[in-house]
Chain A
Amino acid sequence: MELTGAEITIKCLQEEGVEYVFGYPGGAVLFIYDALFQQDKVKHVLVRHEQAAVHAADGYSRSTDKVGVALVTSGPGVTNAVTGIATAYMDSIPMVVISGQVPTSYIGEDAFQEVDAVGITRPCVKHNFLVKDVKDLASTLKKAFYLAKSGRPGPVLVDIPKDVSNTKTEFVYPESVSIRSYNPQTHGDMGQIKTAAKMLLEAKRPMVYAGGGVVLSDASKQLTELVQKMGFPITNTLMGLGGYPATDRQCLGMLGMHGTYEANLAMQDCDVLLAVGARFDDRVVGNVKHFNSVPRKIIHIDIDPATIAKRVKVDVPIVGDVKQVLTDLLAVLNASKQKPDAAHLKTWWQQIDTWRSRKSLTYKNSDELIKPQFVIEKLYEITRGEAFITSDVGQHQMWAAQYYKFNQPRRWINSGGLGTMGFGLPAAMGVQLAHPGETVACITGEGSIQMNIQELSTCKQYNIPVKIIALNNRYLGMVRQWQEFFHGNRYSHSYMDALPDFVKLAEAYGHVGIRVDRPSDVEGALKEAFARKDDLVFLDFRTDPTENVYPMVPGGKGLSEVILAEDL
């Protein structure tokens, strides 16, 4: 049957089982929107800004194992989407972004709403395509979904000129796809896996360091089994939270710049490090020279060979899908007669418990001022640790990561790599739509929330009852903290003195707003908010403006050069 490019586009989305498309219409995508209108399998969510469309698709993807889909028009539609695309790229989120383009005959003529979408997005996509012939459209979309999801996942952009979406051709959706230049390796080398197993069994001070790759590969079960079988300590990165249950004794919490004392010191002092789906980035190991100054053997499992040995030297590289490699590694360990070195492991745990006894996440609560950490602890209690939590970027993000104990993967949704303020609310929309009936909370600050506040309107339109937990300290808190520590208390432009009344603002959008000023009201307000199952509730917590995030490994310092709250 002959279909137009627009109809083919929608058919392809149906074939891929796409449930939601997040988008915003415009001239170049009018035919696609027309085709969307004439069917009801693929649901469209109209956002208020294209950046939010991409973040919502991103949140949808992170909280499920599906590919997120966004649809934007040419020109400003694409440029607005770029922040969202780069966010997904940095965190390896599978996503397909469809953008409209000016008609092929206008390309290069500086036509109205024309940008070089493929050129602009090239550095922040896994791959992108400009479809110049409608005959290539179906196969290109098939490739886009395959590329987004396979190997190391990532966003793929498909740019469709307006005339292509209005030209007819025979529609056949390819059943399979093969790209000769693209063959991601899924199985790790068995020789290397055996070497790794031997190294782990002989370790005296072993440590497991697990990142977002565990979540993306749905390998939590295998990771948990391995860690518990071996009795090793484990730390999760910001992206890996929930990949191993946070409340388990073997979990040392998050590591890195704002990681726990015990996680960072164990990372520094271990003799064998098993890195799983993590990339040793600057916020994790701090100063690489300092990290490398201590001898240790490193086993690194990752699907992307370019991630291995990028920042630190690796002794046993294993390229493959994390879940598959862990399964094979477990099989080798299970078959081995050798057991982990119990005596050394006992001494190592004694050392770790000494570090742990410093209780690096302790904070001084107050009867006068609401401590942000206290809000997160109460949120954790009231939601029984079972909520989907999205976050924006800054101090509140770190407190959320430190005090909300994630026991399951895909519950913690944040922009780790790019650190995109404005991510939290639109991401929460995607999460809520993917999980209707579940509790979804967006932990944010008064700075971040204003970067995509317009999405309160989208939430109203689609009855998305997320709970907004705003830790409002009247400062761009993380900037203020760095200015206090490293810039002589000169608070250059980190203060906001014309904040809106968030309660009234929430009400103006048709939602419920609650302002909380006193610590004694925190619990009641949270309970009230979560009792309102069908309402979006904006909780404006007026928190202590001078609270800092501890522990802190200052930029450029080593993991053991940490500042603790008690040091001050």
Chain B
Amino acid sequence: MRHIISLLMENEAGALSRVAGLFSARGYNIESLTVAPTEDLTMSRMTIVTRGSDEIIEQIKKQLNKLVDVVAVMDLTDGDHLERELMLLKVSAVGEAREELKRVTDIFRGRIIDVSSTSYTIELTGTGSKLDSFLQAIDHDLIIETVRTGSSGIGRGERVLKL
């Protein structure tokens, strides 16, 4: 099953490589991994999207908790949560496709943030599956470049990951 694991870790050099190294050493799957500083400058927040059986996910959480630099771990998938990913997409936009791409972008509530005579750069935010749907809705051959950030997540309402 797909799980979104959030963690807070010390803002130390090498902390990211400890997490990445753990996944590769133990053969766990990483679908996406994002990391950035938080309002507390001593900590970074990481979101990892992974897949595995319940036993594997349990081990992943335990092994992450065991890392000395990891302050807190939460499996967002255990409860209500929000998930967002940002995609920047450069597409070839000439002729009829130019109008069609604008329409599809509007339907998905995306924005065109850069325009040239032959291309658009589209910004789209949403869950990973929404971004996948967008990519399926347009002509694959028009895609010049795809940049995705990987998922970020946060608990709904009172669900908070904080020290």
A interface with B by C-beta (< 8 Å): 118-119, 122-123, 126-127, 130, 147, 179-182, 304-306, 309-310
Q: Which residues of A contact B21 (CB under 8 A)?
A: 122-123
Q: Which residues of A contact B59 (CB under 8 A)?
A: 306, 309-310
Besides the known contacts A181-B10, A182-B68, 6 further A-B residue pairs in the complex with CB atoms under 8 A apart: A123-B21, A130-B14, A147-B68, A181-B9, A306-B65, A309-B55
Q: Which residues of A contact B10 (CB under 8 A)?
A: 181
Any A CB within 8 A of the CB of B69? yes
- Decide: A309 near B58, CB < 8 A? Known: A180-B71, A181-B68, A181-B70: yes
Any A CB within 8 A of the CB of B17? yes
Any A CB within 8 A of the CB of B140? no
Q: Which residues of B contact A306 (CB under 8 A)?
A: 59, 62-63, 65-66
Q: Which residues of B contact A305 (CB under 8 A)?
A: 62, 65-66
> Could you write out 10 A-B pairs with CB less than 8 Å apart?
A123-B25, A147-B68, A180-B163, A181-B69, A181-B70, A181-B71, A182-B68, A304-B66, A309-B58, A310-B59
Q: Are A122 and B17 in contact (CB under 8 A)?
A: yes
Q: Which B residue sits closest to A128, measured CB to CB?
A: B14
Interface string of B1-35 (1 = CB under 8 A from A): 00000000110011001100100010000000000
For chain B, which range describes its interface: under 10, 10 to 19, 20 to 34, or 35 or more residues?
20 to 34
Q: Which of A118, A179, A181 neighbours the largest number of chain B CB atoms within 10 Å of its CB? A: A181
Give the 9 A-B CB pairs with smallest separation, nearest first. Answer: A306-B62, A181-B71, A127-B68, A123-B25, A305-B62, A182-B68, A306-B66, A306-B63, A122-B21
Q: Are A119 and B68 in contact (CB under 8 A)?
A: no
Bound-state Cα–Cα, A310 to B55, Å: 8
Q: Are B68 and A126 in contact (CB under 8 A)?
A: yes
Bound-state Cα–Cα, A147 to B66, Å: 12
Say which residue of B17, B63, B72, B163 sits within 8 Å of A119 (CB atoms): B17
Interface string of B66-87 (1 = CB under 8 A from A): 1011111000000000000000
Q: Which residues of B contact A309 (CB under 8 A)?
A: 55, 58-59
Q: Which residues of B contact A182 (CB under 8 A)?
A: 68
Q: Which residues of A contact B68 (CB under 8 A)?
A: 126-127, 147, 179, 181-182
A140 to chain B, nearest CB (A): 12
Bound-state Cα–Cα, A217 to B147, Å: 51
B22 to chain A, nearest CB (A): 8
Bound-state Cα–Cα, A181 to B10, Å: 8
Q: Which residues of B contact A127 (CB under 8 A)?
A: 68
Bound-state Cα–Cα, A310 to B58, Å: 9
Bound-state Cα–Cα, A310 to B17, Å: 23
Q: Which A residue sits closest to B62, measured CB to CB?
A: A306
Bound-state Cα–Cα, A182 to B70, Å: 8
B62 to chain A, nearest CB (A): 4
Task: Tell me the B41-73 residues at the A interface (CB within 8 Å).
Answer: 55, 58-59, 62-63, 65-66, 68-72
B138 to chain A, nearest CB (A): 42
Q: Which of B17, B58, B68 neighbours the largest number of chain A CB atoms within 10 Å of its CB? A: B68
Q: Which residues of A contact B9 (CB under 8 A)?
A: 181
Q: Which residues of A contact B14 (CB under 8 A)?
A: 118-119, 122, 130
Q: Which residues of B contact A180 (CB under 8 A)?
A: 71, 163
A94 to chain B, nearest CB (A): 15
Bound-state Cα–Cα, A310 to B66, Å: 14
Bound-state Cα–Cα, A119 to B13, Å: 11
Q: Which residues of B contact A147 (CB under 8 A)?
A: 68
Q: Which of B14, B71, B163 neighbours the largest number of chain A CB atoms within 10 Å of its CB? A: B14
Bound-state Cα–Cα, A182 to B72, Å: 10
Q: Which B residue sits closest to A123, measured CB to CB?
A: B25
Bound-state Cα–Cα, A421 to B55, Å: 34
Bound-state Cα–Cα, A479 to B14, Å: 39
Q: Which of A118, A147, A306, A310 neighbours the largest number of chain B CB atoms within 10 Å of its CB? A: A306
Q: Which residues of A contact B65 (CB under 8 A)?
A: 305-306
Q: Which residues of B contact A118 (CB under 8 A)?
A: 14
Q: Which residues of B contact A179 (CB under 8 A)?
A: 68
Say which residue of A130, A181, A304, A310 sits within 8 Å of B13 (CB atoms): A130
Q: Which residues of B contact A181 (CB under 8 A)?
A: 9-10, 68-72
Q: Which residues of A contact B13 (CB under 8 A)?
A: 130
Bound-state Cα–Cα, A302 to B58, Å: 16
Q: Which A residue sits closest to B70, measured CB to CB?
A: A181
Q: Which residues of B contact A310 (CB under 8 A)?
A: 59
Q: Which B residue sits closest to A180, measured CB to CB?
A: B71
Q: Which residues of B contact A126 (CB under 8 A)?
A: 68
Q: Which B residue sits closest to A181, measured CB to CB?
A: B71
Bound-state Cα–Cα, A246 to B65, Å: 37
B140 to chain A, nearest CB (A): 39
